Chain A
């Protein structure tokens, strides 16, 4: 959709790059931030990302025995909680395209003593290696904007979701107030890259982060994209003035 410029090119932040290259460029970003990812998340959002994730879990309807896919799950914040909530009869798959992020996630969850019902799969959201109608719940938190072909990824999620299952997309979105939007721009283009430089020694990745957020579809566009691939009863909920939105859709 808005992401595709023509058949061969796509956005990488504000840059236009060959589609074939985006995945490896994104991989490089996350490879370079993996070790400091959690720390940066807390710093950049002042810890609020934890509340956005809690809200996601509160909207998940997850129960004991459910099968959950935490896609682009990175360092496994959501997966850790889901693992406890689905219990030993349930299953949680933490999937990410990036081996380095997956490894940080695996180590972290193992340190928390979570093992039994968790699986780690290196996978691209665009072509998920799971059977049709398999999961009760799919979450993708701060992952969709990094995916090259979002429509393809959403369709792939729809395929592996069970009828009656739901998809939750937690992603940066468009602030609803002009003043907040200005303050947020200032923060993400001036403060964030400097913080990235200081803490993770990597300003470029955080510049990409800010740019990729601006290029991501806004609330209504993403809602339409979800409906396009078949999701029903799609709604979204703005968090922190629309800086982040949680989209929810069902497969029936």
Chain B
């Protein structure tokens, strides 16, 4: 089975589905219409070629001419919507770009500004009431989750600050014990020396 085509087909369906969920995306897509962008993600074996019209077509070819050709790592992908960042990334060599900078930027903006009203989307399938309740429930759960997380974080930081120094590491204990022994030996030697000096002084007197 043509594997590249399978991956591209799935990605293409996903991207276009996401774009149709945001009414404003057609405006952003229009800015790219007729252009082509090739993205070589370093972690992927195959480049992705995006052809923009009123939707996004994902092509699996590697050599057709494109308006812009960028190579970057997957972590950098979400940073290309911002022109300043884009220039910075190019200077830092985190990204190489051939062709039109604005194509890359418009592509970044297309997905960065994606604004999907999930409650509204859910209500299409479940009706308004269920969607609203589910969203409230989810919001509540999310809030509770972040509260719990905040609490956990503060407990953990207390533990780190206050209890950790008390529960010393075995190596530190060993080192400490070593220092104490040395001190004890030094004190004993000092005591012997002192006794010796006292006796000598007494002898002289």
A residues near B (Cβ < 8 Å) are 48, 50-52, 54-55, 57-59, 61-64, 81, 84-85, 87-88, 113, 239-240
Contacts and interface: CB of A to CB of B under 8 A. Distances in A.
A239 B60 CA distance: 15
Report whether over half of chain B's contact residues are helix, strand or loop; otherwise say mixed: loop
Chain A interface helix/strand/loop/mixed: helix
A87 B65 CA distance: 15
Interface in B5-62: 5-6, 8-9, 34, 51, 53-55, 57, 59-61
B2 A52 contact: yes
Contact of A61 (B53, B55, B64): B64
B1 interface: yes
Given A61-B64, A87-B34, A51 B55 contact: no
Contacts, number: 45
Q: Which 8 A-B pairs have the closest CB atoms?
A: A84-B53, A54-B5, A58-B60, A51-B5, A58-B61, A55-B2, A51-B2, A87-B34
A55 B3 CA distance: 10
Contact of B65 (A57, A63, A85, A88): A63
Given A54-B9, A55-B2, A59-B61, 16 more contacts: A48-B1, A51-B2, A51-B5, A51-B6, A51-B9, A54-B2, A55-B60, A58-B4, A58-B60, A62-B64, A84-B51, A84-B53, A85-B53, A88-B34, A240-B1, A240-B2
Contacts of B51: 84-85
Interface of B: 1-2, 4-6, 8-9, 34, 51, 53-55, 57, 59-61, 64-65
Contact of B5 (A55, A62, A84): A55
Contacts of A59: 61
Given A50-B9, A54-B9, A239 B61 contact: no
Contacts of A51: 1-2, 5-6, 9
Given A55-B60, A113-B54, A239 B2 contact: yes
B59 A58 contact: yes
Contacts of A113: 54
A239 B6 CA distance: 13
Given A61-B64, A63-B64, A87-B34, A81 B5 contact: no
Nearest to B64: A61
9 contacts: A51-B5, A51-B6, A54-B8, A54-B60, A55-B5, A58-B5, A61-B64, A84-B51, A85-B53
Contact of B57 (A50, A61, A81, A240): A81
B158 to A, nearest CB: 56
A84 B1 contact: no
A84 B54 contact: yes
A52 B60 CA distance: 12
A110 B34 CA distance: 20
Contacts of A52: 2
A216 B64 CA distance: 32
B5 A85 contact: no
Contacts of B65: 63
A61 B6 contact: no
A180 to B, nearest CB: 12
Contacts of B9: 50-51, 54
